[in-house]
Structure formats: structure tokens, C-alpha cells
């Protein structure tokens, strides 16, 4: 770990897969992540540049290739309760707009301080469930619906994801370190 952020990832075989250099501003916000891939030798893998609003929420991420070519832009918008409600992606001229809705229970990733970094790295919108839980995502690629069963403390204990008439259910458990 470097400044409380995973600086590298190791596979199940104890071989480093990639490493990151993390750049922070004077407020300690992450403003740039340089990625490196390890395929026997360490090679540059591109970088993210991150902009924030006055509430310290990520509002734009620019993804650059290893040759410093802009390959993707993600823009994020939020509601008054700080839930992420909109994601606009532009990747090689292909635009995708998504609208998210949330419940008012404790978010699945509420206690994960850098969940937005996971969203940026994986493009998995479920990581936006920081304050509250996603109920739906609608956009140019269709709609995804989420339903939950909750524990007594209002954290999810089960998640059902539905898309195109197909449903998958996940049981959720929590572990403290």
C-alpha cells in the first residue's frame, strides 16, 4: 500500500500483475494514477487524471494510453444526498449515458473509502453504492435492476441483479479487519 491505496496487485500465484504510482494534491485527493503492467518486465500501462468538485467528489476521469493518447472520458454527477446519479462515458467517440437511482439504506460499499477507484478501474457501477444502494441503472446499453434483502442495521445481506429478464442472486457477508 502507498498512501492507503493499493499500489500493486498480486495474483493468486504471487506474481505481480500491475503496479500504480499514485499522485495526490495538497488536500490529499488522488489526482493522477499512473499504471504499469508486469508481463515479465514492467511496462507503462497508461494513466488516469481525476478532477473533483467542491464536495471532494470525483466529477471527471480522463483515461490515457501508455502513449499519452486520450482514450476515454468519464463524467460523474451527484444528487443532494451525494449519491452518484449520472455517468457519461465517451470512449473513442462512442458515448454512453447512464442514470442511477438509489434506496435510502446503508450502501454496500459505505465503509470502503476508495470505492470510486474500483468503479473507475472495473467500470462496475455497483461500486457506486457508497452512501446508498443502487436500485437501477438505465442508459444507452439497456437497464439493470437491483433488489436487496437487508440486515437489522440496514446493510444488504442479499442482492438480486436483473437484466433482460435474467436474474442472479448474491449472498453478501461482511468482514472487518
Q: Which pLDDT tens digit goes with each residue over 49-93?
A: 999 999 889 999 999 998 999 999 999 999 988 889 999 999 988
Average pLDDT over residues 94-118: 91
Distance of alpha carbon 27 from alpha carbon 55, whole angstroms: 12
In tens, the pLDDT along 120-156 reads 888 888 899 989 999 999 998 789 999 999 999 999 9
pLDDT at position 174 is: 87
Give the chain's length. 177
pLDDT at position 43 is: 75
CA torsion through residues 32, 58, 154, 142, sign: negative
pLDDT at position 22 is: 85
CB 124 within 8 A of CB 118: yes
Contacts of 68 (CB under 8 A, 6+ apart): none
Amino acid at each position: 500500500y502507498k498512501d492507503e491505496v493499493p499500489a500493486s496487485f498480486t495474483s493468486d500465484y504471487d506474481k505481480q500483475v500491475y503496479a500504480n504510482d499514485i499522485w495526490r494534491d495538497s488536500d490529499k485527493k488522488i489526482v493522477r494514477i499512473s499504471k504499469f503492467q508486469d508481463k515479465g518486465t514492467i511496462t507503462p500501462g497508461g494513466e488516469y487524471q481525476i478532477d473533483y468538485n467542491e464536495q471532494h467528489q470525483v466529477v471527471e476521469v480522463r483515461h490515457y494510453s501508455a502513449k499519452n493518447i486520450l482514450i476515454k472520458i468519464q463524467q460523474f454527477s451527484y444528487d443532494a444526498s451525494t449519491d452518484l446519479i449520472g455517468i457519461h462515458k465517451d470512449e473513442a467517440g462512442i458515448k454512453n449515458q447512464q442514470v442511477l437511482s438509489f434506496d435510502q439504506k446503508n450502501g454496500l460499499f459505505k465503509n470502503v473509502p476508495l470505492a470510486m477507484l474500483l468503479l473507475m478501474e472495473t467500470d462496475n457501477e455497483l461500486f457506486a453504492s457508497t452512501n446508498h444502494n443502487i436500485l437501477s441503472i438505465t442508459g444507452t446499453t439497456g437497464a439493470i435492476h437491483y433488489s436487496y434483502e437487508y440486515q437489522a442495521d440496514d446493510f444488504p445481506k442479499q442482492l438480486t441483479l436483473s437484466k433482460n429478464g435474467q436474474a442472479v442472486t448474491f449472498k453478501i457477508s461482511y468482514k472487518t479487519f
